[in-house]
Amino acid sequence: MTPQDDSPVQFRHPTVDDGAAIWQLVVDAGTLDRNSSYLYLLLCRDFADCCAVAERGGQLQGFTTGFRSAERPDVWFLWQVGVAASARGQKLAGRMAHFVLNTQAARGVCYLETTVAPSNEASRALFAGIARRLDARLAESELFTEPQFPTSEGVHEAEPLLRIGPFDTGRAAQVYRNFS
């Protein structure tokens, strides 16, 4: 084990300088939808407060990307979560999500939404855990069906909407303090 492995994980909002490393984590994961590197740069610039990175010893270990729409300011939409293979099993995905929820709850967010393919058991367990820790309801409904995805991408599973909430904003801060 190197000294870098012993250093604590730090959570923060990303900067534009993190965009390329986030894109590389997506590529390395091999299971996430790969978006353009430009998109990750925009997320880090315009939605940094809705995104997070986990860093250890100066190396990115994981990320979450998300946003809030002007039409639904009480909802944080968590778009992607990625954790480096070497950092899996440390609950980084949940810890990053709660880091952002703590920030967003202070701004009036009381719902978390995301889409998760039916076969993605790890992500489903992640969001069930978040709902449980927030003591909030987790509801699933249809959002994007298989035929709505371009056929040039091959077969893409449906992406149902998972909605957690409403949750108490004070509870979000408490969970973050206890979980991080």
In this predicted model, which residue has the larger pLDDT, 47 or 34?
A: 47
b/e map 62-100, b = 16+ CB within 10 Å: bbbbbebeeeeeebbbbbbbbbbeebeeeebbbbbbbbb
Q: How confident is the model at residue 5 (pLDDT cuts 50, 70, 90)?
A: low
Q: List the Cα angle 12/180/46 in 5-degree steps.
A: 25
Q: How confident is the model at residue 180 (pLDDT cuts 50, 70, 90)?
A: low
In this predicted model, which residue has the larger pLDDT, 31 or 132?
A: 132
pLDDT at 3: 37
Q: List the Cα angle 169/175/176 in 5-degree steps.
A: 95
Residue 54 phi, psi dihedral angles, 5° rounding: -110, 130
pLDDT at 153: 63
Kindly report the CATH class assigned to 3-179.
alpha beta
95 DSSP 8-state letter:
H
Q: How confident is the model at residue 50 (pLDDT cuts 50, 70, 90)?
A: very high
